[in-house]
Chain A
Amino acid sequence: QVQLQESGPGLVKPSETLSLTCAVSGYSISSGYYWGWIRQPPGKGLEWIGSIYHSGSTYYNPSLKSRVTISVDTSKNQFSLKLSSVTAADTAVYYCARLLIVVVPAATVPVGTFDYWGQGTLVTVSS
């Protein structure tokens, strides 16, 4: 059974960089699949942040692209998120998930459905 677990600081100061890690168990990242980050501000909807392949290829939400870096460490079977210059608007529950992709002619990034999710971790941006 695939399991994902997010970890990282729960409190980040404005203008600093948010850093989270997603540890994957029950499946080797090197075997394939794409992996993604999704966030959810308190009481609001879901926002895709970006996705990564085990090779290191990354794809980001255009609205966040200038501030986001996603990386993968296959030796530790985990992938990470960095979001720079955070503000209170970045306060959210951050989820990592596995992305089951399909071939879609119109898509400019790997797309599909998120079939396995971590439990989520709340990150608050406040001084």
Chain B
Amino acid sequence: DIQMTQSPSTLSASVGDRVTITCRASQSISSWLAWYQQKPGKAPKLLIYKASSLESGVPSRFSGSGSGTEFTLTISSLQPDDFATYYCQQYNSYPFFGGGTKVEIK
């Protein structure tokens, strides 16, 4: 099975900061990677698909990049609404998720 590893597990940042989260796959998944945002007590929300395509309605401060085994989610200027946990999900083989990265207030 393909393992998905996110780093860091927790990230402390301030409003306005540029934030980058990394997701690594144990083997190549081409560009078959999605990113989700989850707030406490809520279902995940799809942000990015196919590594870099922005889901409709998602603010342009979110962007994704990468291919093969290394991917990043970048928030260009962190907003109060962005404090949440972020998950990557590969869909090259099975729809498996990474362990999550919590973005908390610094």
User: A residues engaging B (CB < 8 A)?
Assistant: 36, 45-48, 51, 61-62, 95, 97, 99, 102, 104, 106-109, 111-115, 117-120
Contact = CB atoms under 8 A, between A and B. Distances in A.
B93 A114 contact: no
Task: Summarize B's interface: helix, strand, loop or mixed.
Answer: loop
B84 interface: no
A45 B93 CA distance: 19
A46 B87 contact: yes
Given A113-B34, A113-B49, A107 B93 contact: yes
Interface of B: 1, 30, 32, 34, 36, 42-46, 49-50, 55, 87, 89, 91-100
Given A107-B91, A111-B91, A46 B97 contact: yes
Contacts of B30: 104
Given A107-B94, A117-B44, 18 more contacts: A36-B95, A45-B97, A46-B36, A46-B97, A47-B97, A48-B96, A48-B97, A62-B94, A95-B43, A106-B92, A107-B93, A109-B95, A111-B92, A111-B94, A113-B34, A113-B46, A117-B45, A120-B43
